[in-house]
Structure 1
């Protein structure tokens, strides 16, 4: 995981987010500045700066005299996060340009998702699906916000991928693709909102 020595803080932040999404860093886990700096081949300073940024984004929490930890969110926080994700991703769909290639990629990812067996693999493909869904959206700032928000609920999504909720999720994915293909962006947005509501309904049911 050695990084290029360019924009240290931003590279460290991006790598940490990816580690969370990949399931390599778990909720409640303490993050060692020294270990991370050695692993990434940089000094402690950019690691601390990156962790501070992630703390401001709500992904990491800092405990006095203890250090940085991956934050565990409560149901109320999760509800707020899912509402924002749903709204921003819906906005992105409405304003995206969907090329034939993007639609083809969405279909292929959905096929992969239905063939995939392990929860972690499902989560990774689902993440790619949603990124592809907003690939034709030009607002990079909102894309960055979405990435941070999704990282905060990754553990919920991973548990979600272990359940039969996945079958309902697959159906909504297919509906979204069909609506986009038929140039019905507003209806696709509504379907997407119902899709994200599934995650929160799952959280309430399981009390993660």
Structure 2
């Protein structure tokens, strides 16, 4: 890997980490000079990393402002959840799970049940979904999923703060793991799609409530 690619990936990883921690907010302008000083990287690889994130629709370029985290909309939320659900189903159906893989899924499911704060549960839930698809050999599909989920985090951080809601999807996660144990991927895929749709319905309700209250 070329040095400039390493620097670009360093910037991208830093920004994605900020998104995961909830430190990069919707509407916030990304200050290139401040970012350069903070991580010790020149402006050129920063611009390259931001351009990649723009292509992934995580941020957008605004005239006279620079790069900004895009505003959230119900239409984009539906498109994101629908697309992620379909891609995860494709990845799951093209995966082969070992006994060790199933044990990892069960351990992650246990961590989910033991997570009581919103940010912890969100992180563990996304890790659970990563374990569901990481055995897929289609690296292009997995990269698209990674980019889409980075954008999706803004919706769940902004409108999915009720940790108790996500307890309702634990039973579906358990059913997914059980179906994989039984080598019944079609059933696992069906429940997986339902899982994402349940979360989408919740996020849409929260967005509607937020709009009505504003």
TM range (shorter): over 0.9
* Aligned-pair CA distance for 1:10: 2.6
Residues 18-61 of structure 1: CA distance to partner in whole angstroms, max 9, x if unpaired?
32123232222221111111222210111111111111111001
Separation in 2, partners of 1:81, 1:156: 10
Pick closer, same or farther for the CA change 1:14–1:139 going to 2, 3 Å: farther
CA–CA distance in 2 between the matches of 1:18 and 1:200?
23
C-alpha contact (below 8 Å) 1:28/1:72 kept by paired residues: yes
Moved more, 70-79 or 23-32: 23-32
- Quick one: distance in 1 between partners of 2:112 and 2:12? 27
1:173-184 map, 5 Å: 173-184=173-184
TM-score by length of 1: 0.92
* Contact map agreement 2:59 2:70 (CA 8 A) in 1: yes
- Is contact 2:117–2:163 with CA below 8 Å preserved after alignment? no
Q: Across the two proteins, how many residue pairs are aligned to each other?
A: 205
Gaps of 5+ in 2: none
Partner of 1:9: 8
Looking at structure 2, the residues matched to 27 and 162 of structure 1 have their Cα atoms a distance apart, in angstroms, of 19
- Alignment of 1:185 with 2:202, yes or no, is no
Question: CA offset at residue 114 of structure 1?
Answer: 0.9
Q: Is the 8 A contact 2:32 2:46 kept in 1?
A: yes
Partner of 1:116: 115
Q: Which residue of 1 aligns with 2:94?
A: 95
Deviations 1:105-133 (A, max 9, x none): 11111111111111011111111111111
* Cα deviation, residue 63, structure 1: 1.3
Unaligned runs of 5+ in 1: none
Is 2:121–2:163's contact at 8 Å kept on the other side of the alignment? Answer: no
Deviations 1:64-96 (A, max 9, x none): 101111122201111111111001100110011
| Pairwise CA distance, 1:148 | 0.7
- Structure 1 residue 197 displacement after superposition: 0.4
Q: In the aligned structure 2, how far is the partner of 1:201 from the partner of 1:128?
A: 21
| Bigger mean CA deviation after superposition, 37-46 or 9-18 | 9-18
Inter-partner Cα distance in structure 1 for 2:198 and 2:74: 14
**Higher helix proportion:** 2
Q: Provide the aligned C-alpha RMSD in A.
A: 1.6
Residue in structure 1 matched with residue 24 of structure 2 by the alignment: 25
Structure 1 CA distance for aligned equivalents of residues 154 and 51 of structure 2? 21
Match of 1:205 in 2: 205
How many Å separate the matches in 2 of 1:161 and 1:181?
A: 32
